[in-house]
């Protein structure tokens, strides 16, 4: 029996993780959770589960919740996230959105808690620090992102020195069939309509801009510690092959599955074992799998991510923060779709890169570049 705590339990990944726990009561129990502002969804969760600790974003709701659920402890704000991260459990699933996940992730690592990592922004913002801290504490970071779960599974039992390249697949997002010119007039509603995956709003926009794939390249670099030139991306519109590894003897191993994040979440919880799950890929879906080379001109954000990796230092931190700001603006209807990448590019260009930054430098740049600077 493993106790699972969740940062971001009301989100898309959080909800699917709760499904996994609910479907396997003999294997998993829920520990502590954090949510943001979705109190209605929290109340639904509390009809099925009894976490011992719940963190909410706003202090104002704590009093009512405490009187309605006297047997549960409530906490709030950034300290609440740290409280959840430091409460004892076997695995902490980081399914919160954005770089706000960084401090709680480090806290859990210091507590020697295994991390099931969905919150990729944490590795983009501060991958060197997070991975170093995990190594020092002998803590495993198990990927939940479908591509990295795929790579992790393909690499199981393999010698990383024998890897020729990692090939990360990309569905192409909502606008994969549009030219750059056609992107000028796309709407928020169009952008939120992902062809294959149902996900939170921010990552759905990141998929449409291809920033998400850029984040995933950086995430792979930190998780698997390979030179950047060994991390490739390819367009694969079916999202059936979640990613693949080519070895030095020209063998390739791929991981396939349907577009159901619960498979990757469950594997992160059960690794190195597997548990039965009842949603198989139909073989008929394999009749036609398409692949297209990535186009760095069409998908400029992916190029920015490779640039940030090559530059090292704080450039990826700034890219992530600028993107969080710009996507927030787009979701509020303040800017157009193409302005997202304009803002990210402009903020990356204005930044004087700092090599080997400490955590304080990263947190301060994150706050600065996430704000409404002009």
Is 5 or 246 the residue whose CB approaches ligand NDP more closely?
5
Is 246 or 308 the residue whose CB approaches ligand NDP more closely?
308
Helix (H, G, I), strand (E, B) or coil at 274: coil
Tell me how far, at minimum, the Cβ of 312 lies from Mg ion, in Å.
Answer: 23
How far apart are alpha carbons 318 and 370 in whole angstroms?
8
Q: Which does 100 bind (CB under 5 to 8 A by kind): ligand NDP, Mg ion, none?
A: ligand NDP
Helix (H, G, I), strand (E, B) or coil at 104: helix
Q: Which does 8 bind (CB under 5 to 8 A by kind): ligand NDP, Mg ion, none?
A: ligand NDP
Q: Which does 191 bind (CB under 5 to 8 A by kind): Mg ion, ligand NDP, none?
A: none
Tell me how far, at minimum, the Cβ of 214 lies from Mg ion, in Å.
Answer: 11
Tell me how far, at minimum, the Cβ of 164 lies from ligand NDP, in Å.
Answer: 26
Question: Exactly one of 145, 206, 260, 345 binds Mg ion (CB under 5 A); which one?
Answer: 145
Q: What is the DSSP secondary-structure string of 315-341?
A: HHHHHHHHHHHHHHHHHTTSS-HHHHH
Q: Which residues contact 302 (CB under 8 A, 6 or more apart)?
A: 210, 211, 213, 214, 217, 233, 294, 296
Residue 345 in the binding site for Mg ion (CB under 5 A): no
Tell me how far, at minimum, the Cβ of 211 lies from ligand NDP, in Å.
Answer: 10
Q: Which does 21 bind (CB under 5 to 8 A by kind): ligand NDP, Mg ion, none?
A: none
Is 119 or 169 the residue whose CB approaches ligand NDP more closely?
119
Q: Which does 37 bind (CB under 5 to 8 A by kind): ligand NDP, Mg ion, none?
A: ligand NDP
How far apart are alpha carbons 151 and 243 in whole angstroms?
6
Is 16 or 246 the residue whose CB approaches ligand NDP more closely?
16
Cβ-contact 224, 145 below 8 angstroms: no
Q: Among all residues, whose Cβ is closest to ligand NDP?
A: 11
Q: Among all residues, whose Cβ is closest to Mg ion?
A: 145
Helices (H), the chain: 12-23, 39-48, 62-68, 77-86, 102-110, 120-136, 146-154, 188-191, 201-209, 211-224, 261-270, 300-311, 315-331, 337-350, 359-370
Residues engaged in binding ligand NDP (CB under 6 A) = 8-14, 34-38, 57, 95-97, 100, 118-121, 145, 197, 199-203, 261
Distances (CA, A) of 359 to 1, 130, 132, 366: 35, 10, 12, 10
- The binding site for Mg ion (CB under 5 A) comprises 145-147
């Amino acid at each position: 029996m493993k106790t699972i705590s969740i940062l971001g339990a009301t989100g898309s990944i959080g909800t699917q993780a709760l499904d996994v726990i609910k479907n396997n009561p003999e294997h998993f129990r829920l520990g502590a959770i954090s949510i943001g502002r979705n109190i209605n969804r929290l109340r639904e969760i509390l009809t099925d589960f009894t976490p011992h600790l719940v963190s909410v974003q706003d202090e104002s709701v704590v009093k009512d919740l405490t009187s309605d659920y006297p047997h549960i402890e409530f906490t709030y704000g950034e300290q609440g996230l740290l409280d959840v991260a430091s409460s004892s459990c076997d695995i902490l699933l980081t399914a919160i959105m954005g770089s706000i996940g960084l401090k709680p992730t480090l806290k859990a690592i210091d507590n020697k808690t295994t991390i099931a990592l969905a919150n990729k922004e944490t590795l983009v913002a501060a991958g060197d620090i997070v991975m170093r801290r995990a190594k020092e504490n002998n803590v495993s970071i198990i990927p939940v992102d479908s591509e990295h779960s795929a790579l992790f599974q393909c690499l199981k039992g393999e010698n990383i020195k024998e890897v020729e390249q990692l090939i990360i697949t990309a569905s192409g997002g909502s606008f994969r069939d549009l030219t750059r010119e056609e992107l000028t007039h796309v709407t928020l509603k169009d952008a939120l309509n992902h062809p294959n995956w149902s996900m939170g709003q921010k990552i759905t926009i990141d998929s449409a801009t291809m920033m998400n794939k850029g984040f995933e390249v950086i995430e792979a670099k930190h998780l698997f510690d390979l030179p950047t030139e060994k991390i490739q991306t390819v367009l694969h519109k079916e999202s059936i092959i979640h990613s693949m590894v080519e070895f030095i003897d020209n063998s390739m191993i791929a991981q396939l599955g349907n577009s159901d994040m619960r498979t990757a979440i469950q594997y992160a919880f059960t690794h190195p074992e597997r548990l039965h799950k009842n949603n198989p890929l139909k073989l008929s879906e394999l009749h036609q799998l398409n692949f297209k080379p990535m186009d760095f001109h069409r998908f400029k954000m992916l190029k920015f991510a490779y640039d940030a990796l090559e530059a090292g230092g704080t450039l990826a931190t700034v890219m992530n923060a600028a993107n969080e700001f710009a996507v927030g603006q787009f979701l509020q209807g303040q800017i157009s779709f193409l302005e997202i990448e304009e803002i990210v590019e402009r903020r990356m260009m204005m930044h004087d890169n700092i090599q080997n930054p400490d955590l304080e430098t990263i947190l301060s740049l994150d706050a600065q570049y996430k704000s409404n600077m002009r």
